[in-house]
Structure 1
Amino acid sequence: MAEFDWHAERADLQGLAQLDRSPEGEGIDLKAVRQYRQAQLRREMENHGIDAVILSDPVNIRYATGTRNMQVFSMRNGPSRYLVLTADRSILFEFTGCLHLADGFETVDEVRPAKTASFVAAGPKIAEREVAWAREMAGLVEELAGKRATVGLERMNAGAAIALRDAGLHIVDAQAPVEMARAIKSAEEMKCVNASLRATERGVANLRAAIRPGLTEAELWSVLHQSVIAQNGDYVETRLLNAGARTNPWFQETSDKVIGENELIALDTDVVGCHGYYSDFSRTFHAGPGKPTPEQRELYRVAHEQVSHNLGILRPGLSFRDYAEGAWDIPEKYHANRYYLSAHGCGMTGEYPYLYHRGDFPDAGYDGEIRPGMTLCVESYIGEDGGKEGVKLEQQVLVTESGVELLSRFPFEEELLG
């Protein structure tokens, strides 16, 4: 694998030249991306016997239409914008005062004002608001898809979902068709994935260059945010940068802990970046000024071995069960602190499928098939239970007709690999 020249990439950002990442400059046909995604969703709706979906998850609305508006706000305050999609109609209900944001999208046939059905918006009249909202939706679905339409929901307030059922709709879960649609990427969609990754790698290069003992975890982590936002990315979905003893166990959120000399610094990017696509790779660094210890190098070597082995067995047509059987065997001393997954799907966020470790498969795993067009993230966390430090590594790949293509290009640490 060719080394990624992060020094050159960092130099490219002088003067914030990437403030507006033009899709034309990247050679991406975003109209083709939107049309492919909407067609994918409609195909899966038909496969699952669903006549209409009411989508309220802002990531799924963006997938189905390309429209976005206050993504994080919309996740929390809802349904405040939602989409009704049938086999031949797409009606977006947009947040108050925001109807103009969907202008020019060929994936939206009509925009109407949303009626937010939440306690924050309606107070003690929430039940009345939900019933009125449900009646409006039921009437629209009947108009578009008939009286006996099957309607899929993927995320909804309990009261709103119950009111929809009481309004006479046949309600089913829309998660399966949405996830199955999102799992297979088009060639044009992959241009968006790669644009997001290149921008995130620039941010990680800036973060790596800024490492020095005396900074807090949060100060260092903010370097990634600044670069992602300056390149027109969206947000970072988690808080996963830790140093020293806070690298073990994993999943300790970034804090004001001061980075000490010669500590390990572990990062999981989890960036919702350019065009709304997820850049998800992990790296572990050494704070210096001295050299890594033998113990630090061993943790890193083992994590690198796990990722390399599991990348090596991925191929199209492999079942999830057979992947679990062939995946790297975690040594007993690292088993208790293992990462909860061996690999997972990746698109506009983390998504289907989850690929579990062999030992976890009987309880947590499910079967399926690794298919061309899937983008997967292969994970490793290595740290002993009660150990001083740990190492997090992860690579993002595309499954092709003949194998896998490495998407995440940020280099591993030679001094830690030894």
Structure 2
Amino acid sequence: MSSFSVVKPKIDPAKGARAVKPDGSADYNDRVEIGPTDLAFAEWADRGLIAPNLERMRKRRLDRIVQQLRQRDYAGVLCFDPINIRYATDTSNMQIWIMHNPSRAAFISADGYVVLWDFHRCGHLSNYLPLINETREGGAGFFYFVAGDEEEAVAKQFAGELDELPRRSGGKNRRLAVDRIEVPDLRALDAVGIEVCNGMQLRERARAIKGCGRDQCHALLASNLRDCRR
């Protein structure tokens, strides 16, 4: 029987970090359960393997996106694809479901400001990630299952939020890269004068050059695969 309950939840947004794990992440086990266990860290240490530092990996990925935005003179990039959201923010809420039902989004500006639209009542799942400047719950789902007959109204409100973000820094750039998008939101962005550009190309270019930690990740994966084949 699980030791967790309503009074002792497994994922506790009120709990603060006390120390860090070997990969540089917070040392408590309610970080959305996406990190290695203590047993995995111990096995890797016994084999002389070093876990990559997640903080450095996250920072480098964000820097790569910002670099690509500035090269193309885009105000920012809007991501609905869960793989692209993960690359930019390292959040992974409901990855499989979101692949078919796009109701999470991430905006990254050309100056590195990050806004995450997460699913309703899921904002606490990304509180441990310092590179996310804002988390907004709901508002990024325009498909019929979520929005129903209010698709256009929801898309209009979302487009208004996007229209406001680049203006915060006084910018007049209306070029926004988008990886993929629902029809209601595309029309809403057009209506506020935002020029939608190829965001998937930008994201692939950002990922093309691998950074620190990649070889370490491959070494850890190879070690795990060898164990599975025994």
Normalised by the size of structure 2, how large is the TM-score?
0.73
Tell whether the 8 Å contact from 2:178 to 2:200 is kept in structure 1 after alignment.
Answer: yes
**Higher gyration radius (CA):** 1
Which residue does 1:183 correspond to in 2?
Answer: 208
Change (3 A) 1:201 1:72: farther
2:131 is aligned to 107
Q: Structure 1 vs Structure 2: percent identity of aligned residues?
A: 24
Separation in 1 of the partners of 2:222 and 2:95? 20
State how 1:335-374 maps to structure 2 within 5 Å.
none
Deviation at 1:88, TM superposition (A): 3.0
Summarize the Cα distance change of 1:51–1:201 in structure 2 as closer, same or farther, 3 Å threshold: farther
Q: What is the CA distance between 1:179 and its match in structure 2? A: 0.4
Matched residue, 2:5:
none
Aligned partners of 2:62 and 2:112 also within 8 Å: no
Out of 32, 52, 57, the residue aligned to residue 76 of structure 2 is 52
Given candidates 101, 104, 123, the residue that maps to 1:81 is 104
Q: How far, CA to CA, are the matches of 2:143 and 2:153 in structure 1?
A: 11
Quick check: 1:163 aligned with 2:179?
no
Structure with bigger RCO (C-alpha 8 Å, 6+ apart): 2
> Are 2:144 and 1:154 aligned?
no
Deviations 1:279-313 (A, max 9, x none): xxxxxxxxxxxxxxxxxxxxxxxxxxxxxxxxxxx
1:21 correspondence with 2:45: no
The counterpart of 2:168, out of the listed 131, 143, 147, is 143
CA contact (8 A) 1:89 1:109 kept: yes
Offset, 1:201: 4.5
| C-alpha contact (below 8 Å) 1:89/1:144 kept by paired residues | no
* Secondary structure of 1:151 counterpart: strand
Distance change in 2, residues 1:56/1:144 (3 Å)? farther
SS of the aligned residue for 1:124 comes to helix
Once residues 201 and 117 of structure 1 are traced to their aligned partners in structure 2, the CA distance between those partners, rounded to angstroms, is: 44
Write the deviation string for residues 12-61 of structure 1: whole angstroms up to 9, x where unpaired.
Answer: xxxxxx78634995432110111111111111111122121111111111
Across the aligned residues of Structure 1 and Structure 2, the Cα RMSD in angstroms comes to: 2.4
CA apart distance, 1:177:
1.6
TM-score (norm 1): 0.42
Q: Which runs of 5+ in 2 are unaligned?
A: 1-36
Paired with 1:83 and 1:98, the residues of 2 have a C-alpha distance of 14
Equivalent position SS for 1:187: coil
